[in-house]
Amino acid sequence: MSNTDFDSNALSDAPHLAGGATRRDFLVRALALGGSAMLMATMKAWGMDSAATACVPPVLTGSGKGKTVVILGAGIAGMTAAYELGKLGYTIRLLEARDFAGGRIQTARRGKVLEELGGQKQVCTFDAGEYINMGPWRIPFNHYSTLHYTSAFDVKLELFNNDNDAAYVYNERAQGPLNQRRLRMFEVKADLRGHVDALLAKSLKRGTLDQQVTAADKALLIDYLVNEGYLSKQDLDYKGTDGRGFKVNPGAGLTPGPGVPSDPLGFSELLQSKLGLMYKSVSTFLQQKTMFQPVGGMDMIAKAFEKRLGKVISYNTEVSKLVNLADKVEVHVRNTVSGKASVVRGDFCLCTIPVSVLRGIDTDFSDGFKNAMQSVSYSPLCKIGLQMKERFWETGHGIYGGHIFTDIKGINLISAPSSNWQGKKGTLLGYFSYGADGVEMSARSPRERIDYALAAGEKIFPGEYTKAFEHGFSVSWHLVKYSMGATSHWSEEGRVKDYPQLWEGEGRTLLAGEHMSYLNGWMAGSIESAWQQIERIHRRLTAA
């Protein structure tokens, strides 16, 4: 996903408000005092929603009474469509193969049952109050469509710490002396930026860059580099900064007194390690430093929709065949509990089933349409939740939320929870494994996945990780029935050649979901694709 002109620093600690408070501080208070509604109002007052492509559902006029729309899949796209079309008077038949709604918006907590393709079955044994978000787990500030419903449905939000400079980075395939050395992110950032800024500042001072920088700009640029890199104003050297931590922290009295400064890492060592590739100058469009999450788990959003849709959803209803007729659609279904087969008819169909699953359903789509569906691939993504009996990453290491990055095969990152800080227990995301590593991880048994994750974590937190472990629960999305993959992916060629054809749909069937968006893998992609497709459906049915 390429960057856009959105203000990716809008929630950072840099912009200060009156009295020294930051925007982030203010939003924390807004959440605490007024919930999602006050949060949205505050963001709108600051103009933080002005660049959104879709902030609210389309305003549709006319009535849908007397017309039936069949919606396949009660994930976020299907429930969005059902909710909005229901307000227009349409009769909605929302068919869901599972016995719960939400699609991939699933949260594992005590009692959750997951049986993967191949027969591996898990029952979550986390303590009450502990959970892990199996699918979506964070919301960017610029996903206004998602925030529209959290606000409208009063889904309580809290801040998600997506970038914690106090967290560790541990690489065991780095080059040079920093290999297998546990470092704080702020050490790497401060030292690499400091060394680079010192090199550039000294080059400017010597006149090496006189052809590229005017005399007037030279002094200004040196001032910027001194400030940005914590350089000495006298000799432009980088000697470290207190922001990279102390050997001995300052404190009261004579001991420890002012503390003992830490020594910066060597420039050459850092370059050899390639650890600087972990970060960029600013956050990307989809990955801000501070994001949001629903209090209690991401499935609170699904439950909020479910509550409002009630009996509209038909659970345990598996689609076996889809037929487009001249004036209606016929959907052949089977009840997964009773085995009873039946046919559901409607004036139009919105299919939100993942294409990975839809390809296996008998449809009367044209060969061209079916060929276009082959362009969509789905990532094999795996996650694991590890309940720990104590929050050692907080008490012993001062890591409150954020991600510990590593190149240990199959791990990628370990994420600390952004809720219940200083609580007794906590649940870590033990790995975020994808691609070939994800396939390899999924081949392990649930117990073997736990053991692998614990062995990796023990390298970063020796003597603490395994000792604190209590319960684990994992998911391999490509092995989950009715999902068969975590997020969709399009090639550049597929976007040009096949994506438009799938968007147009066939007959009286349109497609929606994260796969029918440029926000693949995000709830906003599902919601906004549903908004656009229901507008097309309403226009066609009311014009008839």
Spatial contact of 292 and 141, defined as CB atoms under 8 Å apart: yes
Question: Which CATH architecture group holds 107-135+380-479?
Answer: Alpha-Beta Complex (3.90)
Q: CA-CA distance, 288 to 300, in Å (whole number)?
A: 22
Q: CA-CA distance, 229 to 194, in Å (whole number)?
A: 4
Average confidence (pLDDT) over 198-221 = 95
User: Read out DSSP for 73-100?
Assistant: --SHHHHHHHHHHHHTT-EEEEE-SSSS
Q: Where in the chain is the domain with CATH 1.20.1440.240?
A: 185-278
Q: What is the CA 169 to chain-centroid distance, rounded? A: 20
Q: Reduce the DSSP state of residue 26 to 3 states and report it.
A: helix
Spatial contact of 409 and 459, defined as CB atoms under 8 Å apart: no
The candidate with the shortest Cα–Cα distance to 264, out of 347, 332, 197, 174, is 197
**Residue 32: pLDDT band with limits 50, 70, 90:** low
Whole-model pTM: value is 0.88
* Per-residue pLDDT reduced to its tens digit, 290-326: 999 999 999 999 999 999 999 999 999 999 999 999 9
Count each helix (H run) and each strand (E run) in the chain, helices first: 16, 26
Q: Reduce the DSSP state of residue 445 to 3 states and report it.
A: coil
185-278 maps to which CATH number?
A: 1.20.1440.240
Q: What is the CA 448 to chain-centroid distance, rounded? A: 26
Residue 183: half-sphere exposure toward Cβ, Cα within 13 Å = 30
**Residue 119: pLDDT band with limits 50, 70, 90:** confident
Beta pairing partners, 292: 139, 159
**Residue 544: pLDDT band with limits 50, 70, 90:** low
Q: CA-CA distance, 295 to 297, in Å (whole number)?
A: 6
Q: CA-CA distance, 425 to 419, in Å (whole number)?
A: 11
Q: Where in the chain is the domain with CATH 3.50.50.60?
A: 68-103+299-377+489-543
pLDDT at 8 over 60: no
Q: Where in the chain is the domain with CATH 3.90.660.10?
A: 107-135+380-479
CATH class of 68-103+299-377+489-543: alpha beta
**Residue 29: pLDDT band with limits 50, 70, 90:** low
Give the angle subtended at the CA of 156 by the CAs of 154 and 158, to the nearest 5°. Answer: 150
Which residue's entry shows tokens 């009261």? 252
Instruction: Report which residue type is found at 440.
Output: E
Hey, CA dihedral for 440, 444, 446, 449, is it positive or negative?
negative
